[in-house]
Amino acid sequence: MSRIRTFKELLLLMLLGGMVGFTTSSVADEDLQVVTSIKPLHSIVSAVMSGVGEPELIIPGFQSPHTHTLRPSNMRTLQNANVVFLIDESCEASMGNATRSLDEDIKVIQLMKADDIELVRWADDSHQESHDDNDEEPEVESHRDLSMFDHHIWLDPLNAIVMAREVARVLSEQFEEHAEVFSNNADNFITKVEDLIERLTENYDAATVSLKPFIVYHDGYQSFEHRFGLDGLTRSFLKGEYTPGAKHLRDLQKQIKDLKIECVFTEPQFDDDFVDSLEDRANLKIRILDPLGATLDAGPDMYIELLENLSTSIIDCLTEDDDS
């Protein structure tokens, strides 16, 4: 006797058994199998699905989406999904890979490809594997070679608005009977994000933020910098996801000196070894940025909290002391 694992298998068995009169036109709530990758995206999808269902989360906050590997249970979750949302297969690499072998009737949506997502280039050229060195601007709109853009798109709240709309559109197509709820939920979420943008922008305007470069753990803050007028300020400690070599460490050390860098931000999911290897550690302010919300509870409100925390950490560190 084989175990009946999925609703689809059950349905198939019933059809094979000649049972008639079964209708799938009305999808019950528990049949909404929506799967998301990282917590910020899970939060946006949760907000849109609120009152109808809850999405599954594949990559918990304390793991880097770039290096996370799927467990067999994750694979089963994906195989049972109706819709899978992820940022981009270069961001959630292993999950992106796995989605390519899923049944064709499972809808896989990479939100980085959504129209109107604002893309910002990586600060660090090493991400651009096939970048040729001419001065011509790439044809971004028609070509959209995503590899040259920072895939941490959720750190720009305007992109969260675009994502919420796209999520509502995709889910409404799949589950028409809930379309109105999805649309209302998306509107509510968007209002909250608009308030957030206003609040954060005011905070940056009000704070005496010294626009000095600062060090972040990895190159992933271009979208955030761009939205809040911090363009060009981050220097990343890691090249990609790898521990920097001696030369990179020396370069950073020199930048800290030359640019009088005071703020160094680590991330909760990485260890602190690199901070300890910096010279002059005593004169640096070591703080934490949590771009994935590793320390936050998952759910519809988590996205807003994530952006608020990120912003507060940066402002607190960059704000000049009163005695200056």
Site residues for Zn ion per CB under 5 A: 220
Closest to 143 measured CA to CA, from 107, 119, 127: 119
**CB closer to Zn ion out of 213 and 220:** 220
**CB closer to Zn ion out of 40 and 220:** 220
DSSP code for 33: -
Type of residue numbered 16: L
Residue 108 burial (CB count, 10 A): 19
Distance CA 307, CA 153 (A): 12
**CB closer to Zn ion out of 96 and 220:** 220
Residue nearest to Zn ion according to CB distances in the complex:
220
**CB closer to Zn ion out of 152 and 178:** 152
Residue 154 burial (C-beta neighbours within 10 Å; 0-12, 13-18, 19+): buried
C-beta separation of 269 from 64 below 8 A: yes
**Nearest approach, Cβ of residue 115 and Zn ion (Å):** 23
**Nearest approach, Cβ of residue 304 and Zn ion (Å):** 20
Residue 11 burial (C-beta neighbours within 10 Å; 0-12, 13-18, 19+): middle
Q: In what order do the strands lie in the sheet with 263-266?
A: 234-236, 214-216, 263-266, 285-288
Token look-up 């799949």 returns: 174
**CB closer to Zn ion out of 53 and 220:** 220
**Nearest approach, Cβ of residue 241 and Zn ion (Å):** 7
**Nearest approach, Cβ of residue 249 and Zn ion (Å):** 20
**Nearest approach, Cβ of residue 315 and Zn ion (Å):** 22
C-beta separation of 184 from 296 below 8 A: no
**Nearest approach, Cβ of residue 220 and Zn ion (Å):** 4
**CB closer to Zn ion out of 204 and 270:** 270
Start-to-end Cα distance in the chain: 77
**Nearest approach, Cβ of residue 311 and Zn ion (Å):** 18
Q: Name the E strands within 223-273.
A: 234-236, 263-266
**Nearest approach, Cβ of residue 222 and Zn ion (Å):** 11
**CB closer to Zn ion out of 220 and 293:** 220
Instruction: Read off the tokens for 26.
Output: 């009305």
Distance CA 279, CA 256 (A): 10
**CB closer to Zn ion out of 220 and 300:** 220
Distance CA 268, CA 139 (A): 37
